[in-house]
Chain A
Amino acid sequence: MMKKFQLHPCGNYNESYNSELTIYSTDFGRIGVVVGILLLFLVPFLPISPYIIYVMNLTGIAAISVVGLNLLTGFTGQISLGHGAFFGVGAYAGAILATRLNLPIFITLPAAGLITAGVGMIFGVPSGRLKGLYLTIATLAGQFIIEYVLVHWEYMTKGTMGITLPMPKLGGFTLMGDVPFFYLIFPLLILMTWIAVNIIRTRFGRAWIAIRDNDRAAEGMGIPIFPYKVFAFAVSSFYAGFAGALWAYYMGSITTEPFNLSLSVEYLAMVIIGGMGSISGSIFGAVFITALNELLRLMTDTLMNSAIVTQLGLSLAPLREFFYGVAIVLFILFEPRGLAELWRIVRSNFRLWPFPY
């Protein structure tokens, strides 16, 4: 029997808990996502410059990391200021496993994630026991300590020299260039997003949300808060490490520089701007910030050619930092639920058009 497609709901007809838990309330959403993914995979066939593919790849990697951070910040209510460094731990773990032990990519990626989760727990465990913002402070400390270790543990990380990775092999293919990586990064992003969306629907996800909303009530209902908080932190670090290892493969060689505090702030900006507590928001945030980055780069590049700007010594980094700050501040003041909420508003306006409600 043909299933009846449900496209436009009007009102809330949930009759069981299962129907409340469904990801797509209508078949329209499900079809939309499938079509969207198919269109995404057709993008490399379009006559566009490799630069666009490169930017998309970076966005995809950032999105994996941000989905993980959103599980921690958006769903469990804990801020981490160390995810830039955890991303770096993943990158180095992946690079070291790939160069020293010659492990294939499908082992190094999850292994790097697990190692990062372990490192993250060192900072998560002492603060997980305490209420309040101790985790934020501990992860800030973690950021600086990890940066120090990455630079000074030269036996493992080769310090400022950096590590050059071999080309990853998958099946019989050697992955090289932007387009093959596109077909590696985006399926992985979809996989990781799928996992995240489904963790939220399990008892782990519900426990996280309960802890975020009211930890005392959560404790009273029998949720052991400490293990769940640490687990959230571990999962979140796993995502960061996984993305970091992927980034290391894509870049081909890594140094210690990029994994600083401003990367951590950048990831937090993506979470806030995308929308805390929304998985799709994480992806919006990653797209928004990466696009903003490239736009600023373009702007400064064009301005660089005019004499006035070079005289002022305008450079990209402070401008970028400034705009992150402004974007975070504006979103918190005017739309704290981020782009995901804006998208929902726009969508519902379209759906109900021409009626106001």
Chain B
Amino acid sequence: MDFFMQLLIGGLSVGFVYGLSAMGFVMIFKSSSVLNFAHGELLALGGYFFLIFITIVKLPVILAFIFTLLACFITGILIERVFLRSLIGEKLIFVIMLTVGLAAMFKGLLLLIFGGNLYTYPDFLPAAMGIQLGVVQVPPVYVATFGIGIFFLVLFGLFFKFSSQGIYMRSVADNQRASLSLGVNVRRVFALSWAIAALVAGMSGVVLGIINGVNVHDLSALGLKVFPVIILGGLDSIGGAIVGGLIIGILETFTGGYISPSLRDVIPYIILVFILLVKPYGLFGLKEIERV
């Protein structure tokens, strides 16, 4: 039972991070229907920005976190401006391939700069943040993960519900042509959705970095795990991304704990193929799928 609870808590918190990072992915997909294969590299970028700010620049933790988010936000805007804007209106296959190219480019660049080593952040979370849940000790990292995650979920929920930019973004997601004709600046929405996605990804990168340490290979592989998560949750549902993330996270830790540790990283993809077979629009996605 002890072991079970341990796995459950671990799975929930890892799954929560998956869900958060998938949220960024869904945002890009919703507004511009682009599958972003460079998502893992955005995670890694966030992790490394934080590493630079906290170990080289030696900023206090909160400030370093804010600067990381800012840097990710700007990177997102730059990616959209430099690479994706000129492809608006092009065939989707080119845009997807562009993100594959960007992924290879960023990964290579990060590996050139930082190498394949594992970096860890200095221990800054107070031990008092840990919670005793019955017999299980929840480490401070997981508590912080939940805190940050829920904060951002609420923040984005409010943003999409009430702010004008959020409403524009939802309208573009709903119907690009109609919102264009009603005067929504679709280009700005694209830029903003990339910026927010990069920000969310960067944040997840930092959290994952606190849990496991920062490593280019690990983080870019984690970025690809958004695919099982979003297929499970439905490609275009932000809530679905969170639930999908939680399910995948729990499945992973339980497979790792009870069946075999090596199967752990493959089980999400097995689920993915299975979901595509039986319920291709996911648990919460719109049933707008065209069978051709």
Contacts and interface: CB of A to CB of B under 8 A. Distances in A.
Interface of A: 73, 77, 79, 81, 122-123, 126-127, 129-134, 136-138, 140-142, 144-145, 148, 151-152, 215-216, 219, 225-226, 261-262, 265, 268-269, 272, 276, 313-314, 317-329, 332-333, 336
Contacts, number: 146
B42 interface: no
Contact of B104 (A129, A142, A325): A325
Contacts of B83: 329, 333
A325 B106 contact: yes
B56 interface: no
Interface stretch (B123-131, B163-171, B263-271): B263-271
Ranked 10 nearest A-B pairs via Cβ: A322-B108, A325-B105, A328-B101, A318-B111, A325-B104, A321-B108, A141-B269, A131-B290, A329-B101, A126-B276
B269 A323 contact: no
Given A138-B276, A140-B224, A318-B111, A265 B100 contact: yes
A324 B98 CA distance: 11
A142 B93 CA distance: 20
A48 to B, nearest CB: 31
Contacts of B227: 137, 140-141
Contact of B270 (A133, A145, A265): A145
Contacts of A325: 101-108
B154 interface: no
Given A319-B112, A325-B108, A326-B105, A332 B94 contact: yes
Interface in B244-292: 262-263, 265-266, 269-270, 272-273, 276-277, 280, 289-292
Residue among B109, B265, B269, B277 with the most chain A CB within 10 A? B269
Contacts of A272: 97, 101
A126 B94 contact: no
B86 A329 contact: no
B35 interface: yes
B74 interface: no
A315 B188 CA distance: 39
Residue among A129, A152, A261, A318 with the most chain B CB within 10 A? A318
B262 A148 contact: yes
B269 A130 contact: no
25 contacts: A77-B93, A123-B273, A130-B289, A136-B96, A137-B35, A142-B269, A148-B266, A226-B292, A262-B104, A268-B100, A272-B101, A317-B111, A318-B108, A318-B111, A322-B104, A323-B108, A324-B108, A325-B101, A325-B103, A328-B97, A328-B101, A328-B105, A329-B98, A329-B102, A329-B105
Contacts of B105: 321-322, 324-326, 328-329
Contact of B291 (A131, A138, A262, A314): A131
A142 B231 CA distance: 15
Given A131-B292, A136-B35, A226-B292, A324 B104 contact: yes
Contact of B87 (A122, A131, A332): A332
A219 B94 contact: no
Contacts of B107: 318, 321-322, 325
A132 B90 CA distance: 15
A321 B280 contact: no
Contacts of B292: 129-131, 215-216, 219, 225-226
Contacts of A265: 100, 103-104
B60 interface: no
B276 A134 contact: yes
B215 to A, nearest CB: 13
Given A126-B277, A318-B112, A329-B83, A137 B262 contact: no
B35 A134 contact: no
Nearest to A127: B276
B205 interface: no
A76 to B, nearest CB: 11
B115 interface: yes
A144 B265 contact: yes
Given A137-B231, A332-B98, A144 B108 contact: no
B24 interface: no
B240 interface: no
B101 A145 contact: no
A329 B224 CA distance: 20
Contacts of A322: 104-105, 107-109, 111-112
B233 to A, nearest CB: 13
A126 B291 CA distance: 11
Contacts of B90: 336
Contacts of A215: 292
Given A145-B266, A318-B107, A319-B108, A130 B273 contact: no
A218 B252 CA distance: 41
A192 B224 CA distance: 33
